[in-house]
Structure 1
Amino acid sequence: MEGRNLITIEDPRSPIAEAYRTLRTNIQFSSFDKKIQSIVVTSSGPGEGKSTTSANLAIVMAQSGSKTILIDCDQRKSTVHKTFGLSNEIGISDLLVGKVDFKDAVQDSKVENLDILTAGTRPPNPSELLSSKKMKEFIDELREEYEYIIIDSPPIIAVTDAQLIASFTDGALLVISSGEVERAAAIKAKELLDKVNAKIIGIVLNKLEVSEKGYYGYYYQYYYGKDGDRKKGKNKSGEVAI
């Protein structure tokens, strides 16, 4: 395992790893009316940390004992295979076009309870493939085997892929990079999700530099629930988490 950006494995006691665990808890407790199993993670633009968030969220879900699968649906800029040090020779695209079966495409992440489905061969028509009936049916089939299905999708303003996937998943997480994204872009991203009636289960404010109890310089995440309230807490060490 390459371990790039996997702070929940590299430094599980860090404030950032604790923030991911708090994010996990917030998601689990947001499932009142309907259980949230499939979650698409997107951002307004590139470089905001949506792939890092997807990977670490999948890890903490698995670490809690929930069987989890992380799917790389960013066909234009796939990174999940690099993050986990896996092959990208075959993946979700090859499965959807019928070249391989699921058992041949899925890979072991080396994290207990976590499986990985990489992007695979880059198709000429990513949007059409990801919005196909077969994709929807595949996600429904995964519900029988996995408690959580985390989907890393492309930035929502750049291409329509995230919108299409969000239209048939249980919830969407929007990752916003603090101090880097214009307010208009963040609002536009939310509007695009609203247009497909996606259930926005939260907004992750990433790369937020704070100064509190000597932890200045760390990057934290804050989670905004659908009511707009910021969820924030402290762990046993007094470190600030979400």
Structure 2
Amino acid sequence: IDVGLQTKSNIGKQEAADRAVVNLETRYQIMNMVKDFVRNPANKNQMIPFDADSTSASASIKAYNELVAERIKLGSSAKDNNQALQALDTQIAAMHNNVVSGVENAMRAMRIQINQVNQMSANAGSAMSAIPTEEREARALYRQQGIQNTLYTFLLQKREENALVLAATTPKGKIVDHAYAQSHPIKPKPMMVLFLALVMGLLLPLLLLSVKKLLTTKFSTQDELAEIIQAPVIGEICHNRHKSQLVVKPGKTSSIVELFRLVRNNLQFLLTNDGDKVLLVTSSVSGEGKSFVSANLAASFALLDKKVALVGMDIRSPRLAEMLELQSLPGVTAYLAKPGMNLSDIVQSSAEVSGLDVFVAGAVPPNPSELLLSSRVNDFIDQLRAHYDMIVIDSAPIAMVSDTFSLAKFSDAVLFVTRANYTKRNLMNYLNTVMSRGQLKNVSVVVNDTNPNVSTGYGYGYGEE
């Protein structure tokens, strides 16, 4: 037996076994790193920078890396709640399990191969026992060096490959400088905010009130009316909650009755001269309650044991007969048109208020303006003055017709009726103009239909009946 040839043969076998062990150990270490990388939660949604070098595991890793690369590219422009991104996360999670399973199977197969090759190396080593100790130790060192060099070279190669893949999916934007904060906020400035709040708190209510005043075309209380009218406001009449239009009756003490009494008392201060007994009641437009105020004011004077005449001179739109449930014919128009008629032919006494006589307007004439300018009007007023202590004339609205101006010369005082939340402010300017021209004299104003809950109505000690 040639010992040299046998030694050379054993050395060749052991070197082949060593190379096989180095290759298998390298692959096994790579597989182990793949497993550790995949199982690490910090590497979620990151590409695996190793190749399993196994048909099944390599295919799983390649598919996994493709999904992760697609997610990185989509994630640079989409939010976490994007449906496509969520679908990719589901696929990556499923592929993650496949990678772990494939790597573990490959590692078990490699461990079997390593054991087999180690057995072959051990057999060759037994035959090499005669080789000097120093040579065996040197061969062991060369063997370990080969394993480490191969592993290092492989890792460098995979790092370059992974860098190329990541470069293809690098987002266009990048952080140039991280944000930083100061110790105190730049804005808002507390003092400036407090100053603006104070200014807004003072100016905004004034602005709103000014705008509201400019946009409001009507008034609601006598105080608001007093600001725009040049005549004295002698009272207000609250909203009538009674079914009857004649609310002033003997024994009645409701709030609205007391308000009429208050207006009556104020009117007596205007009728101070001897013989002052004719009160002309008018308004700006229809619907302000002129006839309602006339009737109840006349009834209030009658409660003073005076003989009072309520005269309907609004001959274009008469309301007294209907309101007081009296006969509409004959009336004042018949008296003025027929010289042979007397007061007794047209007078009607009130059944509810003693001392109150009513002269309704009668039929609407075809020539109301001419009729009121006739001499019969003078005779009619003179007879009323001779027979009655107080005469209340319900005339037409001044902003619609001129009839009231024809009767103004017979009156001792004029009561102008307005209505809360109904009469427009610009009509009060018209009344101011009329008074400045002297067309109406000794004018006073009353506000009708006010809200008793917000007005300064007279109601202390009196309940609604």
TM-score by length of 2: 0.44
- Residues 162-173 of structure 1: matches in 2 within 5 Å? 162-173=404-415
Match of 2:368 among 117, 121, 126: 126
Letter in 1 for 2:303: Q
Higher relative contact order (CA 8 A, sep 6+): 1
Residue 280 of structure 2 corresponds to residue 56 of structure 1: no
In structure 2, the partner of 1:138 is 380
- Residues 74-223 of structure 1: matches in 2 within 5 Å? 74-98=314-338, 100-110=341-351, 111-211=353-453
Letter in 2 for 1:119: A
How many angstroms does 1:12 deviate by?
Answer: 2.1
How many angstroms does 1:39 deviate by?
Answer: 0.9
Q: Report which of the two has the higher share of helix.
A: 2
State the alpha-carbon separation in 1 of the partners of residues 418 and 251 from structure 2: 23
What CA deviation, in whole Å up to 9, does each residue of 1:177-232 have, x standing for no partner?
11211111122134335535422341001112243xxxx5xxx7xxxxxxxxxxx7
In structure 1, the partner of 2:269 is 29
How many angstroms does 1:28 deviate by?
Answer: 1.3
How many angstroms does 1:33 deviate by?
Answer: 3.7
How many angstroms does 1:235 deviate by?
Answer: 5.8
State the alpha-carbon separation in 2 of the partners of residues 58 and 144 from structure 1: 17
Change (3 A) 1:194 1:142: farther
Letter in 2 for 1:104: D
Does structure 2 retain, via aligned residues, the 8 Å contact 1:163–1:196?
no
Q: CA RMSD in A?
A: 2.3
State the alpha-carbon separation in 1 of the partners of residues 447 and 314 from structure 2: 21
State the alpha-carbon separation in 2 of the partners of residues 126 and 96 from structure 1: 10
Does structure 2 retain, via aligned residues, the 8 Å contact 1:69–1:117?
yes
State the alpha-carbon separation in 2 of the partners of residues 57 and 140 from structure 1: 21
How many angstroms does 1:233 deviate by?
Answer: 7.6
State the alpha-carbon separation in 1 of the partners of residues 436 and 324 from structure 2: 32
State the alpha-carbon separation in 2 of the partners of residues 209 and 11 from structure 1: 24
Higher mean displacement: 169-178 or 98-107: 98-107
Letter in 1 for 2:350: S
Paired residue secondary structure (2:417): strand
Residue 455 of structure 2 corresponds to residue 237 of structure 1: no
Change (3 A) 1:160 1:196: farther
How many angstroms does 1:19 deviate by?
Answer: 0.5
Q: Report which of the two has the higher share of strand.
A: 1
How many angstroms does 1:45 deviate by?
Answer: 0.7
Does structure 2 retain, via aligned residues, the 8 Å contact 1:11–1:17?
no
Instruction: Count residues in correspondence.
Output: 219
Change (3 A) 1:73 1:190: farther
Residue 305 of structure 2 corresponds to residue 46 of structure 1: no
How many angstroms does 1:137 deviate by?
Answer: 2.5
Does structure 1 retain, via aligned residues, the 8 Å contact 2:282–2:395?
yes
Letter in 1 for 2:289: G
In structure 2, the partner of 1:228 is none
How many angstroms does 1:114 deviate by?
Answer: 0.5
What CA deviation, in whole Å up to 9, does each residue of 1:164-189 have, x standing for no partner?
11122111100011121111112213
Change (3 A) 1:199 1:10: same
How many angstroms does 1:133 deviate by?
Answer: 2.2
Segments of structure 1 that go 5 or more residues without pairing to the other structure are: 221-231
Paired residue secondary structure (1:144): helix
Higher mean displacement: 44-53 or 179-188: 179-188
Change (3 A) 1:234 1:210: closer
Change (3 A) 1:11 1:52: farther
In structure 2, the partner of 1:225 is none
How many angstroms does 1:109 deviate by?
Answer: 1.4
Change (3 A) 1:75 1:17: same
What CA deviation, in whole Å up to 9, does each residue of 1:5-50 have, x standing for no partner?
1111398211111010111111112223454211111111111011
